[in-house]
A = this chain, B = another copy of it.
Amino acid sequence: MDSPYLLFLGDVPDQLSAKTAEGVVRWRPERVLGQNRMEGCGADLGVADISIPHAAAKGAKTMIVGVANSGGVLPGHWSRSIVEAMELGMDVASGLHMRLADQPEIAEAAARTGRKLYDVRHPTRQFPTGKGTRRTGKRLLTVGTDCSVGKMFTTLALEKEMRKRDFKADFRATGQTGILITGEGVSIDAVVADFISGAVEWLSPDNDPDHWDLIEGQGSLFHPSFAGVSLGLLHGAQADVLIMCHEPTRPHMRGIPGRALPSIQTCIDANLQAARLTNSAVQCIGIAVNTSGLDPAAARDYLAATEETHGLPCVDPARDGVARLVDRLS
């Protein structure tokens, strides 16, 4: 996806619905020209409001539909803005479940203008099956006790900190939000099951011996809906290093009332055991905790206790940064 980006929010009702666009602003501010909001929009990214023609005049290359909504449907009354962006020379990217091209007027406009549509939730390329062959370069994978515990955030924070220290390091997106933030990647839970590990091998090919791929994890080996995705991702990543991600206030596995989260240690052990299939030297070097549900004192206590229990650096990437994790890498 070519930048700079115009972030389209439509008329989503609240800030939460604009999480994807917020991620782009937070992690790739240099690529953002501004936001475009329709009347009634309840979200604000804190960047310049800009009309579609104005964005085009300033050189916007891609308009990102940076929202999530229940059902993943593209509201019909957004089509006019999307068509306008294409007519003014922009490609359009979306992470919604419904494909842009499923709206006939959008498909027609894409054909007419020759602009590209990126439905990042839907991989279009074919992948080979995974082989488990060792690749050159180094790899880090974030894994988790559950879905949505901060794996993407942690991985992006690691990229930022490592680049600051002159590591060669690249974030590798495996979900639609990560892809929209960085402009590339594979929505790994949407590939055909036979090709999970193969898609990750494709995403993180041979590289320089001192280069780090920082691979965004998905799901959890302990989530009964998605563990297959997590395992294929773990094998395909053939990670040298794992970071365990956790959210300490979650009452149950996401979407499964009554199902308790595994302990951090159980989850570290299971991930290391499975990861050894494709990298016998794999290590877990730290724990990243999303403590947003705790007050600052409780967060501090939790991190200190977890660090002592596991003998590993334990940080909240949002509160403390990830410097102490990067200290463990070379």
Contacts and interface: CB of A to CB of B under 8 A. Distances in A.
A255 B129 CA distance: 10
Contacts of A222: 277
Contact of A193 (B130, B191, B259): B191
A292 interface: no
A207 interface: no
A131 interface: yes
Contacts of A226: 129, 194, 197
Contacts of A189: 192-194
Contacts of A231: 221, 227-228, 231
Contacts of A229: 193-194, 196, 228, 232
A235 B222 CA distance: 10
A75 interface: no
Interface residues of A, number: 36
Contacts of A132: 224-225, 256, 259
A140 B9 CA distance: 49
Interface of A: 129-132, 188-194, 196-198, 221-222, 224-233, 235-236, 255-256, 259, 270, 273-274, 277-278
Contacts of A225: 129-132, 194, 197-198
Contacts of A198: 225
A139 B233 CA distance: 28
A190 B195 CA distance: 9
A56 B232 CA distance: 46
A263 to B, nearest CB: 14
A39 B320 CA distance: 74
Nearest to A191: B193
Contacts of A233: 228
A131 B227 CA distance: 11
A256 B134 CA distance: 12
Contact of A130 (B194, B197, B224, B278): B224
Contacts of A191: 192-193
